[in-house]
Copies of this chain bind each other. A is one copy, B any other.
Amino acid sequence: MGYGIDNLPYASVIGADGRRFAAVRYGDQVLDLGLVDPGLFADGSLDGFLAAGPPTWGRVRAATAALLGSDALQLVPVDDVTPVLGFTVSDYVDFYACEHHAANAGRIFRPAGDPLPPSWKHLPIGYHGRSGSVVASGSAVRRPSGVLGPGRFGPSVRLDFEAELAFVVGVPGSRIPVDAADEHVFGVCLLNDWSARDIQGFESVPLGPFLGKSFATSISPWITPVAALAGVRIPARQDPSPVEPLRDDRVRHGLHIDLEVRINGQPVSRPPFAQMYWTYAQMLAHLTSNGAAVRTGDVFASGTVSGAEPGQRGCLLELTWNGTEPLHLDDGSTREWLHDGDEVVITATAGDITLGEVSGEIIPG
């Protein structure tokens, strides 16, 4: 299972002959989308397809499924291709939509105060990240350097991952009502928002994270279409109910998706996306509520996904409680933060569907 007929995620891939083409994954093979619609995928990217909107998304998905049902196909083993980013990233926004994560961060950094910032339950807090630093799963992540304190510049010694789900915008729009989200959002993928906690901690007042995040953001090149997630939609509820443009109680925009984070092959966390507070429809409605337009290729991410239990926390900041409670790995080593050579892999399942993993290995700065 995992990559059956109900999934069919999209990417661009590089074939053994060096040719780049748009592809759908089916089981352990990929289908060249040029066989489905030669014109739409002529440039080997998903850009035109993403912009085309739901009718085209539906038509291509149906035609792909029909073609895969025939027996005359020339499929390519997935191991014979290299998936790459299939679309041009326009703007990248990262939200902070998980209450468990935000509250844990509050308890760590503001132990005397309210765990949640004053606005947290009134709007999905977010910020713009660096679109030029978005890289495909498998890219090595060089340990960043930065200003760690007054007079101190050097490699980060508090390097972290953040397990997130990202949403890829197909159809441009502005002031998008929550109920119209699926007319604009094409699909989802896993994202690792690598974070240098020392750089971030020193720089972030008052304008937020900047170089502590901007060195690399890894995403899976495989985009699972929203259409594949019908079976895992769940209600999401906010208390108190937010202002009208952010109310989302008519369509099920919660998603029952289970993430897993492994460090060097060992599972260290199982974050449940079902426990997220704000929905992707609310994030998109908020993002565009001031009149800002989204473009084809915009990516917005959920922020760290963490559950209520300690083993469900989606970053080392929470898992090690800011480095004070080291994680014990099976090889006898411990981790407050990531070491050079560590490989972090985030996987996820949405019912019977597997999302494309996002992986990255830390290399020395």
Q: Give residues in A with beta carbon < 8 Å to B.
A: 90-91, 93, 96, 105, 109, 117-119, 122-123, 125-133, 142, 144-147, 149-153, 196, 199, 202-212, 214-216, 240, 243-246, 286-287, 289-295, 298, 365
Contacts and interface: CB of A to CB of B under 8 A. Distances in A.
A110 B71 CA distance: 70
B215 A125 contact: no
In the complex, the 6 A-B pairs of residues with the closest C-beta atoms, listed nearest first: A208-B208, A144-B290, A153-B243, A128-B128, A127-B207, A207-B208
Contacts of A146: 289-290
A212 B287 CA distance: 11
Contacts of A91: 130-132
A131 B209 contact: no
A90 B292 contact: no
A317 to B, nearest CB: 13
A contacts with B: majority SS: loop
Given A122-B149, A125-B207, A132-B298, 11 more contacts: A96-B207, A118-B202, A119-B147, A126-B207, A127-B128, A127-B210, A206-B208, A208-B209, A211-B290, A214-B287, A215-B291
Contacts of A286: 147, 211
A215 B290 CA distance: 6
A259 to B, nearest CB: 22
A132 B92 CA distance: 10
Given A203-B119, A208-B127, A289-B146, A132 B243 contact: no
Contacts of A290: 144-146, 196, 199, 211-212, 214-215
B293 A132 contact: yes
Contacts of A295: 132
16 contacts: A91-B131, A119-B147, A119-B202, A123-B147, A125-B203, A127-B127, A127-B210, A128-B128, A130-B292, A132-B294, A145-B289, A147-B289, A153-B289, A215-B291, A216-B291, A291-B365
